[in-house]
Amino acid sequence: MTYLPSSERYKNMQYRRCGKSGIKLPVVSLGLWHNFGGVDVAENYRKILHTAFDSGITHFDLANNYGPPPGSAEENFGRILESDFSGYRDELIISSKAGYTMWDGPYGDWGSKKYLVSSLDQSLKRMKLDYVDIFYHHRPDPETPLEETMAALDLIVRQGKALYVGISNYPAQKADEAIAILKRLETPCLIHQPKYSMFERWVEGGLLDVLEKNGVGCIPFSPLAQGLLTNKYLHGIPEDSRAAKPTGFLKKDHVTEERISQINQLNNIAVKRGQTLAQMALAWLLKDHRVTSVLIGASRPEQLTDSLKCLDNIEFSKEELAQIEAIL
């Protein structure tokens, strides 16, 4: 079946300017961290991508190591881009990253110019693209000089392999320094991708102010705290959940009695707002004008459609915000 995107796709999505750039991003973007790898079902993730684009999601976020196995998410995405989206490249913002372990030896990790340039070359081959729209350094490197890492991002833009660059997981001061170097090199930092949710709020300790001051966008990942901010954990840990699996970022000991109590109290507020907990958690991030977009994952198309209903209500009363703050 040939895929024909919905002609109504831009009607209901909202778009926000990314910092002080010319780019607008959909307020909800799709991350391909999970569910798009070699171990996943092709027809399912193909439908997720169709549902996203039909809903006005124009931004698809990847990294070199997404899978499993590492690299397979980019390969799978590239295949579907070629078969289903070939006439729509100019309507898409595609991002990738490098910074975590990707191949053996001293040049397959962290932040050297050698690693970043080689990694993006590999990513472009996997996705069958001439360029990505945004290329990120995925995490700060304590050993490589920041000037070298930022010069690599600058080089990549000058080579025409990326239109914009960003950083991810950088704390406030390090982000400020990186942004300043990129400004001097005349390849401004477009965006920062931090982990941020109701349960993970380190960015409020200075990073959001740094980004606002410098006109840099912010796109939180894990906005639902790996699924904790959904109705899945209202009654404890279900057998099929991420917390029940021995591998993964969400551990059983993260789901404490206190946490379950918080989840239930937050859920009560969400119900009063006519939302699911997940929809409210996304709306709570989007209430801040400094947040350009939130990155969500989806294991099936219906889950994505459900998350997008957060756009029906992203306003909070002072009372609601005070109640949420008291719970958190």
Report d(CA 289, CA 17) in Å as an integer: 10
Contact status, residue 174 vs residue 242, Cβ threshold 8 Å: no
Contact status, residue 104 vs residue 89, Cβ threshold 8 Å: no
DSSP label at residue 201: -
CATH superfamily of 15-226+288-309: NADP-dependent oxidoreductase domain (3.20.20.100)
DSSP for 264-294, written as a single string: HHHHHHHHHTT--HHHHHHHHHHTSTT---E
pLDDT for residue 242: 65
Instruction: Name the residue ranges covered by the structural domains of the chain.
Output: 15-226+288-309
pLDDT for residue 251: 62
**DSSP alpha helix (H) spans, the chain:** 42-54, 72-84, 113-127, 146-158, 172-184, 207-214, 257-272, 277-286, 301-308, 318-327
Report d(CA 29, CA 16) in Å as an integer: 12
Select from 167, 87, 71 the least CA-distant residue to 125. Answer: 71
pLDDT for residue 247: 59
Report d(CA 167, CA 258) in Å as an integer: 33
Backbone angles phi, psi at 25, to 5 degrees: -115, 150
Contact status, residue 300 vs residue 45, Cβ threshold 8 Å: no
Contact status, residue 60 vs residue 97, Cβ threshold 8 Å: no
CA distances from 148 to 58, 67, 109 (A): 31, 28, 14
DSSP label at residue 106: T
pLDDT for residue 248: 64
pLDDT for residue 74: 98
Predicted TM-score of the model (pTM): 0.95
Report d(CA 121, CA 284) in Å as an integer: 37
pLDDT for residue 240: 66
Per-10-residue mean pLDDT of the chain, 328 residues long, equals 95 97 98 97 98 98 98 98 97 98 98 98 98 98 98 98 98 98 98 98 98 98 94 77 63 81 96 97 98 97 97 97 97
Contact status, residue 129 vs residue 90, Cβ threshold 8 Å: no
Report d(CA 139, CA 106) in Å as an integer: 16
Terminal CA-to-CA distance of the chain, rounded, Å?
47
Backbone angles phi, psi at 280, to 5 degrees: -70, -40
pLDDT for residue 1: 77
For helices 277-286 and 257-272, the axis angle rounded to 10 degrees is 80
